[in-house]
Each structure stands twice: as C-alpha cells, then as structure tokens.
Amino acid sequence: MSGNPNGASPGLTEANQNPTANPVPTPSRSGLERRYGDFPSFAAALDYAAQGESGFNIYSGRGQLLEALPYRLLREQARSMACRLLGLGLVPGDRVAIVAESDGDFARIFFGCQYAGLVPAPLPLPVAFGGREGYVTTLRGMIQSAAARAVVVPDVIGSWTADIVDGLDLVFGGSPADLYRHAEARVELPEISPTALSYLQFSSGSTRFPMGVSVTQAAGMANARAIARDGLHVYPAEDPRDDRCVSWLPLYHDMGLVGFFLTPLTCQLSVDLLPTREFARRPHVWLDLISRNRGTIAYSPSFGYELCARRSGQADLDLSCWRIAGIGGDMIRHHILEGFAERFASNGFRATSFVASYGMAEATLAISFAPLNTGIQTDTIDLRRLEKDGIAEPSNDPSHPLRTFVLCGEALPDHQIEVRDAAGHDLADRQVGTVYVRGPSLMCGYFRRPDETEAVLDADGWLNTGDLGYRLNGQIVVTGRAKDLIIINGRNIWPQDLEWSAESEIPNLRSRDVAVFSVDGDEGEKIVALVQCRATEDESRNQLRDEVTSLFRRQHGVDVDVILVPPRTLPQTSSGKLTRAKAKTMLLSGQFEQQPETTSSVA
C-alpha cells in the first residue's frame, strides 16, 4: 500500500480508484460457516471474515456507493496500516485518536490499530456541537484524556487540524492521506492478548470532563457475541435467509461502533454505512438503502424514526425485509414508533420488527434485548404513585396522570441486572431504584481515572449505571437518569415526562424541542423548561409560552418557568441526545435571552 499525493485511499481496487466506475456492494452471504464472536481479538475476527465475501460498503448521504470494502481487502490494508503506525514510533498500548467519519479510512486505521496492538479512540465529528471553538475544546480534552500519541483528522474538517493538535505531544497529527505517505516499518506484528485494551470509547455525554471507557479485547468480543447470537439471533450459514446491516449511526458512539461496525464483522455480516452528518437532511436514504439492499437489521434512537415518518414521502419502498428495527441510545418513545409503523405499514414494515434494548458504553454496548418478533411491549402506570412512592403501579384510569414505559428485555446470557434501593438492597418487581449490571462485557474502568472508576464499579464487578428503573416479569424498565431526577415537595419528577407531554400535545413542537431541569430560585428549587420557538411574532410566542405553562400545570400539577429559545440551540450529545446538564449551564451563564416576567428568579 503506497502513499497517494492526491489523497485517495491507497490499496483500493481499480474500480474504486476510478471515479467513473461503479463499485458493487459486497454480498450478504459470506460463504463462511457462521461464527459468533468466538475469537480472542478483533484482529483474529477480521482474519476469519477475510476468508469470505462480505464487508463494509460506504455510501454518500444521497445513497451512492462510494467504496465497497470486502473484509479480505480490509485485512490487507489494515495490516499495512499497522506497519505504518508502528513506523511512526508508536508502540503497542499507545493511543491513536481518530475523528470518526463513516468511511473506509476509519476502518483501515481502526483495524490497523488492532493489528498493531495500539488503542484507537474514536472521536466525534462536530455534528452536535455549537461551533468550532466549542468543538475543538471538547476534542482536545478527549485527546488529552486519552493521552493520545497520534491524531487523525478527516478531510471534512481538515482545515481545523492545526487548532486541534497545536501544542500536543504527538508523533503524528494530520489526515489519513498524510498517514498513508509514511513508509511501512519492517516489523513483525504483535500477538494480541484477550486482556489487552481494544479501544477507548468516550461516552456521548462526556464533554466538560471527558472520560474514556476502557474496553478490552475480551470484553468487546463477549458483547459482540451476545448481541449477535443471543440478542439478534443472526441467521446461521445453513439458513437460506441472510442478514445484512444498514446504519447511519456514528462510529464514535457505542451503538454505531459496536453495534454496526464491530459486531457484524465478528459474525461475518455485510454492513451498509451512511454518513451520520447527513442523516437529518435525508433520512429517507436510510430506508431506501434498507429496501434496495434488502437490509434486515437497522437501529436508531426514537428521533430517527420520527424524522423518517415526518419527511419520507417515498411510495416505492419495500421494507418487508426489515426483521429487526432496533431502538436504543436514548429513552424510548413508544408513540413515535407507533406512528412510524402506521406510516410505513403499506411499505411492508411490520410493527413486530421493533426490538427494544438497553445498554451503555460502560458495558461495551448491550445489556438486555427484548424478545424478537413481539414488537414494543409497554407498561402504563400511575404517574403520581411513581412520583410519590417510587412504585410503578399499573393503571388505565384516565382520571389519573399516567405514564407508559417500554420493556427492554432480560439481561443477556452471562450478564445480570439488579434494581437496588439506596441501602443497596435488591428490590422486588415494580419498585423503582438504581439499576446495577454485571457481566463479562463490562469495562475494566475509565482510562486513567481510578477514583471515577471506583465510584461506579465495585470489587464484585457490579456497575452502577446511574439509571433508575424497575423490573417486570424478568425484564428491565428504565425510567430515566438519576442525575436528571427533579425532587419538588417530596415528588420525584422525571423531566422527560414534561418534555414529552409538551412535544406530543402542542402541534408546533417537535422531538427534542424541550429541555426540562431544576434550578435554585429565590424560594428554593424550581423547574425550568427551555422551549425552542420558531415563531417571531410576539403574539405567537406568548401563546406558545402560555400553552406550555398551562399544559404542565394541568397535566402534571407543577408550575414551570417556560423560557423560549431560538431553534436549534438546545445542546445535544454527540449521539443526538438532548443534554439537560449543558442546557442548564447555558441558561445560568446567560447564553439564552431571558424574558423578565418568566425568568427573573432564575437569572
């Protein structure tokens, strides 16, 4: 593999180097006996997958195939990349930060690190950040937290490279093309131990004090195996049916990296990858690719399904192939999924294809999966009983405020879930407490953060997830994050209850338009709601504020200070989730224009 002064990725097939040629997607059937992640390392998994026909397929945001990358070619290029990385002076165990564009370069460099014994740290693109300065600051914090010795920045933000790497102690800081220009070292690639670190995963909310989740080869493989074999039930080779993955999820987030990059490779599946940064503009391309390539497995947070239902006007889609429409990455909004299923029923989509799941980066990815072919299972409870007593009492009484939660399945094999009270006692069904998990796919800790690790991971291997929830007939139900819980006059108020009420009841509001949290006011703790408003006329703005205020008082019995903010200003994590903590910081630091009559006690 030789350097290319034009910046094209070296080592590609002649067809892919020729811009007039038409690359052909890798087939769904690999031709190999199916193996479900029974490998000592991800490099060994790629060695096996390279003997078959499947691979990664890189698409543009408009659905054009840019590069077909069979695993056999990826293996060749990744091993060559490993020699280049070691030739820079890096040694096994060093960290390599990679700003993760969903392309072949990321695959070659990530797996080059796997073969070289280096530890890649995928970093976010500036999709969900407020601007260049904030993004660069966040990225530099992650690079320093990882103590990275090399940083790779894709061409899409190449002009920012100097700001990103300035003053850092690096042996390399530049683009993939710059990296390809370095000669391969004549070295023997190391044997990769299952106990060695495979990669660092920065959780989607880690911005101010970024912490990298340390995932070993063994932990990553344990999770990939459980996902493919026990969660998704990937078809064995002898089955006449084939599975194929289609994803727009970011490769810097655990659901994209593990769910649709590493896991498919460990069970020899082909994957069609779309760029995350263009999904919001053209969500229909995701559905079109599923239809066109007969994808069977595709995941999204709830908002992705909402975007598709709202914007996709295609009538010629055939989604009958889609057997697992997974939900994860955020609290699951069942009414959005119901709307999606209704919208695309005529295109062959089956509501029973929905699969709820629960997970987090600290567990590599997945902790539980709902049963397949059952669709979304819900539990409707009395909200006041939940808030006052911490009991999820079932109710369908319309005279009471109700809340519907989604069941997220049982723990994966060899994993355990407990719900505990403040004293650490395991709780019975329908009692709300803190969710703890244990199993072979848990992180070994936060990278070089022993105190933070000790705070969440005990000597017996139990992880405090920071989530609240309850168990029901063996399944876990997540009610929210403990740090987001608002306690007012003895009531436990979940902010998403208020957010979802406003977004579903008020026509002009959309998903992620409302952020609710509490602040210290003159008379104690009070609730604030930041609401994105697209109207410019005073009458329309006042009407929206009054409607939201009245809704909260009527449905939830609470007084809320409603502050209107401009569109697209509420902060999100790198995975697209609303971040209430950052929204609160922005408000208190004066970044939102405040209305004196509604916010004087907050300022």
Strand-pair partners of 431? 391
Listed range (87-101, 155-169, 503-517) with the worst mean pLDDT: 503-517
For 70-98, what is each residue's pLDDT tens digit?
Answer: 999 999 999 999 999 999 999 999 999 99
Strand-pair partners of 67? 58
37: phi > 0 → left, psi -120 to 50 → alpha, else beta; which? Answer: left
Confidence of residue 15 (pLDDT cuts 50, 70, 90): very low
Using DSSP's 3-state secondary structure scheme, residue 426 falls into strand
Using DSSP's 3-state secondary structure scheme, residue 452 falls into helix
> For the whole model, what pTM was predicted?
0.86
For 445-462, what is each residue's pLDDT tens digit?
Answer: 999 999 999 999 999 999
Residue 38 CA to residue 222 CA, distance in Å, equals 8
Residue 155 CA to residue 101 CA, distance in Å, equals 9
Read off the tokens for 400: 């009471």
Give the chain's mean pLDDT. 90
Name the one residue in this structure whose structure tokens are 């229909």.
284
Query: In the 8-state DSSP scheme, what is residue 337?
Result: H
Read off the tokens for 497: 């209850």
Domain 486-599, architecture per CATH? 2-Layer Sandwich (3.30)
The mean pLDDT value for 41-58 works out to: 98
Q: Is the pLDDT of residue 597 over 80?
A: no
- Measured CA distances, 297 to 100, 321, 333, 345, 408 (Å): 22, 9, 20, 17, 17
CB atoms within 10 A of CB 162: 12
Read off the tokens for 413: 């094999």
Strand-pair partners of 564? 531
Q: Which helix (H) or strand (E) holds 213?
A: strand 212-216
User: Can you give the residue ranges of every domain in the chain?
Assistant: 14-30+39-237, 486-599
Confidence of residue 576 (pLDDT cuts 50, 70, 90): low
Residue 109 CA to residue 238 CA, distance in Å, equals 33
59 phi, psi to nearest 5 deg: -115, 155
For 185-218, what is each residue's pLDDT tens digit?
Answer: 999 999 999 999 999 999 755 445 689 999 999 9
Name the one residue in this structure whose structure tokens are 């530099």.
140
Q: How do beta strands 560-565 and 524-532 pair?
A: parallel
Q: Which fold has domain 14-30+39-237?
A: Rossmann fold (3.40.50)
Q: How do beta strands 475-481 and 463-472 pair?
A: antiparallel
- Measured CA distances, 210 to 138, 168, 344, 577 (Å): 8, 17, 40, 17
How far from each other are the two terminal CA atoms of the chain, in whole angstroms? 59
